[in-house]
Amino acid sequence: MNAQAASLLVALLASGQAQADAVEEDEAMIDLAWDSGCFNCHDLNKTLRGPAWRDVAERYRDDGEALDRLVATVREGGSGNWGEERMTPNRRVAEEDIERLVSWILALPPDQE
């Protein structure tokens, strides 16, 4: 096997591992969201009481300050950013878990449908 073929093989294997890691991370974040009660008001792809998470990702994708603001909104509650519906505070969810979830949401790719 020449060096170019070996490099391509390593890249493909790394890509496969990266995809497997991403799927594992998605599953962990979805489990955390279920356990935290997030799916009572949110969905990945459609608006329920709160906005779809892919819509949140799209709106804030290029906003470098969004993470801190959204973590505070999840923790303390808020309204006015997505219509009149008020987001209730989520103080029973650990701050670290809120930050992990919001970071994951902000990194979601656009809906592929």
Would you kindly state where each structural domain of the chain is located, as residue ranges? 3-106
pTM for this predicted structure: 0.78
pLDDT in tens, 26-41: 888 899 999 999 999 9
Determine the pLDDT at residue 80: 87
Residues whose CB falls within 8 Å of the CB of residue 89, separated by 6 or more in sequence, listed in order: 75, 76, 77
Give the residue among 19, 20, 29 at the shortest CA–CA distance from 105: 29
Could you report the average pLDDT of every consecutive run of 10 residues in the chain (113 residues)? 55 51 74 93 92 95 94 94 90 95 93 63
Determine the pLDDT at residue 112: 62
Determine the pLDDT at residue 2: 59
Determine the pLDDT at residue 110: 83
* Topology of the domain covering 3-106: Cytochrome Bc1 Complex; Chain D, domain 2 (1.10.760)
